[in-house]
Chain A
């Protein structure tokens, strides 16, 4: 026991530090929590929540344009990268800037609260964003 005193003290310190960094119990088990909602990157939580729901609404083989409300190319490009991973089997591209090769999407996924300008039909509305059908 004597030999173990110092490492045990260190382990207690580490456990205490880890426990103190945990959010409140109610926030851990709330239904809307997702694996990325409290990570270092502020975008990943909302992006994951939106795309997880969108994956059930967008069929395989569909052409999907994704866009961040800010319309900043960097944010939309990051969103498109994650979307192409979370929507496997779909052709995913960033809508900002729009593709120049005549490619037209079947669906538009918008991260954030901005509404699309073109007349499109809503498929999903969530606090993190929306999914729109752009072709029949």
Chain B
């Protein structure tokens, strides 16, 4: 029963973000896509409210947190700015699209079966995500004493709070943390991505077969998730936020204010899901702003895109600082002490690790899409992917004792945004150019 309550509570998340997603600018997305975007945006805001409550020393009361979050989403709608109302593009249910939706469903179903078979459970759920959520639920707040206590060294106390906040709230509602339900978050979040991505991608600039590209993303994440044991940890949540946040930045230029704001809220969700979310967000915003059209209202664009993440992470670090739980990211050493002599070892071990997880297929298939495309790829996702690759490779040269083990354990997950970034790089030919079709893409 507690499992049903624990997971069932997640279904209320779209209600939190609904006030924001009722903005007419988001009418271009399908109803189901808007529901997923509402849930993701609502969750990012809810986690922020929980963090600020903990910072203020106010105990969590679920109903008050939910109402406050929905109220903030309503205020965000008012602040989003004006944009023309839009209706979703009709997508014909041709055989290609039908097959793509079927493949996405199969990818999610296989992820569910792998989870039920015990082949995808994340040890990190047992080691720190779950224990932190239980402690926070018992304390009805972010328990700084638990984070800074004797177990602190194994809890990664500075890891951002979104996943533990949500798990803790669900645990408060359910009475205990149902471990078998917690691992189901992997197929559940993958299903949410499968439902939202085709419509979100269809609204992007020059989309190429959105349902089919979405199927590649969903199936690749499903395969990698089972191979790298992600069920119950924060990786799928991070990918959901990153994918939806980035795809909003691929809308036809100039990207409207409401779209930028929603992207900013989703990127805040990414930055507060995992440590790797922050470099992704910074790279996405930096490369987005390299486009001259995006800099016409630079302060407004920066505020919309980075404001939510700055506020969310600011509240988290202020909490850590004031409660003496943590002061910064990092437990693996200083960037000043990089072991450049390990460069070859790091590259080789990253390659081996990516190959071992499904023979590298989750990365090779999206890369093949770009190589086989006759169109030049979108620059933004590729640039973010390149920036992230350099950052992660350099990070793995930090002076840890056993770099091979560290890379073996984490690289397939930390590099997983490349699946999304490579897949979202492909685009259709320009209208009227050679090979362009007048029929809507499937």
Is B205 interfacial (CB 8 A cutoff)?
Answer: no
Q: Which of B22-30, B73-81, B124-132 lies at the binding interface?
A: B124-132
Is B107 a contact of A15 with CB atoms below 8 Å? yes
Given A28-B117, A88-B135; A48-B216 close (CB under 8 Å): no
Interfacial chain A residues near B208, Cβ < 8 Å: 3, 7
- Some 7 contacts from A to B, beta carbons below 8 A apart, are A4-B211, A4-B441, A7-B100, A14-B222, A23-B119, A39-B120, A81-B154
Shortest CB distance A12–B (Å) = 7
Is B179 a contact of A35 with CB atoms below 8 Å? yes
Shortest CB distance B127–A (Å) = 6
Q: Which of B354-374 contact A (CB under 8 A)?
A: 358-359, 361-362, 365-366, 368-369, 372-373
Give how many A residues have a beta carbon under 8 Å from the other chain's beta carbons. Answer: 44
Interfacial chain A residues near B222, Cβ < 8 Å: 14, 18
Is B113 a contact of A88 with CB atoms below 8 Å? no
Shortest CB distance A67–B (Å) = 18
State the A residues within 8 Å of B (CB): 1-8, 10-15, 17-19, 21-23, 27-29, 33-41, 44-45, 47-48, 52, 81-82, 84-86, 88-89
Residue on A nearest B114 in the bound complex, by CB: A22
Is B227 a contact of A21 with CB atoms below 8 Å? yes
Bound state CA distance, A38 and B151, in angstroms? 27
Bound state CA distance, A72 and B48, in angstroms? 42
Shortest CB distance A121–B (Å) = 27
Interfacial chain B residues near A10, Cβ < 8 Å: 216, 365-366, 368-369
Main SS at interface, chain B: helix
State the B residues within 8 Å of A (CB): 94-97, 99-100, 103-104, 106-107, 110-111, 113-123, 126-128, 130-131, 134-135, 138, 151, 154, 177, 179-180, 183, 208-209, 211-213, 215-216, 218-220, 222-223, 226-227, 229, 231-232, 358-359, 361-362, 365-366, 368-369, 372-373, 426, 428, 437, 441-442
Is A14 a contact of B232 with CB atoms below 8 Å? no
Bound state CA distance, A122 and B97, in angstroms? 60
Bound state CA distance, A8 and B232, in angstroms? 29
Shortest CB distance A104–B (Å) = 19
Is B118 a contact of A45 with CB atoms below 8 Å? yes
Is A8 a contact of B100 with CB atoms below 8 Å? yes
Is B219 a contact of A18 with CB atoms below 8 Å? yes
Bound state CA distance, A15 and B424, in angstroms? 19
